[in-house]
């Protein structure tokens, strides 16, 4: 029996959409899952009552404090230690649950995961890994947490991303690409040039080279590696482009009488296209490198997106990902040490 801990108060639409999301998860996902809901008990129960949601298999941990989007990240451990996010992370650390889900302040969640739950042994810097709404899905690491990185950090992002896609998403031999402004190995800044050399030399990942932004959508890789600054801009650009394309297509089809019939004929196909570009279908972004599963759902998540973030947390918790990642990183460190020793002998 799995237990998912849920921050009910984070995000733009909480607690209304988080309560509705939990309600959908109870109905639509596995019955072998219990929930610990952390937040304002009076509000949670009021919303559930007004929307006829039966919170079965749920325990509520009451707190009226929560992290806002304006709070400094450190508030999660210094200033708002009794917030719904802080208490949820503490419950995860104590083993009261198998995974934690929050739509709250990204910086605070990343900081809290690092300082409360702690990193997997051997991880230099955890990374927020976003599943891009493509067919098949592509994992972007990092998508916003680490603005300043080193080639060694990016190598670990590649290792962690590969392990996640293999163990959680079922991709047999994940292809890893380095997000860059050209495919040639000499392209990019010193960071990308040095990272390319390191990734190419790593025999434990399936590195396919530099990938330009327009080729990410063409099934060129399963994991795309970037620093958090570049990755976040790429992610937000993709989200905005998808919404613009759908809006333009809808306007084109329904703005004139002669095209409305065509629009009605492909109405179901339009729903399929919308679903493909809907990030909410994939749920949230796992913070890779943390000792226990922490999922960051989009701040504007509706009930469906939040339910899918819970689904992703369940899938993540069913794999012994942290142990596998620790073993992979230990093996990588051993190989590097052996090569360094060999170089010194020569």
pLDDT tens digits, 131-187? 988 888 899 999 999 999 999 999 999 999 999 999 888 999 999 999 999 999 999
How large is the greatest C-alpha to C-alpha distance in the chain, in angstroms?
79
Is there a single domain that holds both residue 82 and residue 214?
no
| Predicted local confidence at residue 278, as pLDDT | 57
Is there a single domain that holds both residue 80 and residue 43?
yes
Is there a single domain that holds both residue 117 and residue 167?
no
Average the pLDDT over 61-83 and give the result.
95
Q: Domain boundary at 281, 302, 327, which?
A: 281
**Per-residue pLDDT for 280 more than 90?**
no
Is there a single domain that holds both residue 156 and residue 262?
yes
Name the residue range of residue 147's domain.
124-281
Average the pLDDT over 308-335 and give the result.
88
Nearest one of 228, 224, 260, 12 to 134, comparing CA atoms: 224
Is there a single domain that holds both residue 61 and residue 133?
no
| Predicted local confidence at residue 242, as pLDDT | 75
Is there a single domain that holds both residue 151 and residue 185?
yes
Is there a single domain that holds both residue 153 and residue 81?
no
| Predicted local confidence at residue 269, as pLDDT | 60
Q: What is the CATH number of the domain that holds 6?
A: 3.40.718.10
Strands (E), the chain: 2-7, 33-39, 58-62, 99-102, 127-132, 138-141, 175-179, 206-211, 223-225, 285-288, 294-296
| Predicted local confidence at residue 168, as pLDDT | 87
How many domains, in total, are found in the chain? 2
Average the pLDDT over 207-233 and give the result.
95
Q: Domain boundary at 264, 281, 298, which?
A: 281
Is there a single domain that holds both residue 207 and residue 269?
yes
Q: Domain boundary at 236, 261, 281, which?
A: 281
**Per-residue pLDDT for 266 more than 80?**
no
Confidence of residue 345 (pLDDT cuts 50, 70, 90): low
Is there a single domain that holds both residue 130 and residue 168?
yes
Is there a single domain that holds both residue 118 and residue 129?
no
Confidence of residue 246 (pLDDT cuts 50, 70, 90): confident
Mean pLDDT lowest among 212-216, 256-260, 322-326: 256-260
Is there a single domain that holds both residue 196 and residue 330?
no
Confidence of residue 279 (pLDDT cuts 50, 70, 90): low
| Predicted local confidence at residue 255, as pLDDT | 72
Average the pLDDT over 51-73 and give the result.
96
Q: How far apart are CA 126 and CA 135, in angstroms?
A: 26
Q: How far apart are CA 296 and CA 128, in angstroms?
A: 8
| Predicted local confidence at residue 261, as pLDDT | 63
Sequence-ordered list of residues with C-beta below 8 angstroms from that of 27, at least 6 positions apart, any chain: none
| Predicted local confidence at residue 277, as pLDDT | 55
Is there a single domain that holds both residue 53 and residue 111?
yes
The mean pLDDT value of the chain amounts to: 90
């Amino acid at each position: 029996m799995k237990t998912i801990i849920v921050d009910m108060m984070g995000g733009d639409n909480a607690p209304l959409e988080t309560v509705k999301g939990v309600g959908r998860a109870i109905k639509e996902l596995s019955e072998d899952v219990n929930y610990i809901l952390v937040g304002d008990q009076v509000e949670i129960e009021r919303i559930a009552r007004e929307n006829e949601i039966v919170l079965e298999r749920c325990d509520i941990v009451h707190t009226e404090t929560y992290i806002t989007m304006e709070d400094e990240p450190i508030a999660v451990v210094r200033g708002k230690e009794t917030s719904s996010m802080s208490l949820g992370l503490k419950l995860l650390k104590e083993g009261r649950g198998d995974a934690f889900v929050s739509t709250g302040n990204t910086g605070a969640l990343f900081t809290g995961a690092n300082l409360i739950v702690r990193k997997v042994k051997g991880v230099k810097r955890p990374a927020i890994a976003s599943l891009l709404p493509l067919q098949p899905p592509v994992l972007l690491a990092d998508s916003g947490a680490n603005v300043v990185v080193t080639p060694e950090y990016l190598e670990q992002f590649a290792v962690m991303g590969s392990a996640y896609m293999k163990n959680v998403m079922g991709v047999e031999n994940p292809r890893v690409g380095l997000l860059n402004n050209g495919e040639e190995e000499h392209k990019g800044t010193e960071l990308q040039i040095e990272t390319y050399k390191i990734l190419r030399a790593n025999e434990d990942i399936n590195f396919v080279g530099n990938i330009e932004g327009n080729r990410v959508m063409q099934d060129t890789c399963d994991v795309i590696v970037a620093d958090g600054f570049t990755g976040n801009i790429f992610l937000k650009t993709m989200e905005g482009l998808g919404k613009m394309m759908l809006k333009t297509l809808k306007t084109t089809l329904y703005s004139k009488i002669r095209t409305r019939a065509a629009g009605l004929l492909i109405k179901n196909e339009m729903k399929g296209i919308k679903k493909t570009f809907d990030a909410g279908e994939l749920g949230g972004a796992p913070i890779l490198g943390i000792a226990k599963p922490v999922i960051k759902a989009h701040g504007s998540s509706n009930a469906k997106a939040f339910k899918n973030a819970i689904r992703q947390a369940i899938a993540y918790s069913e794999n012994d990902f942290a142990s596998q990642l620790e073993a992979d990183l230990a093996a990588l460190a051993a190989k590097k040490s052996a090569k360094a020793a060999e170089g010194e002998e020569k």
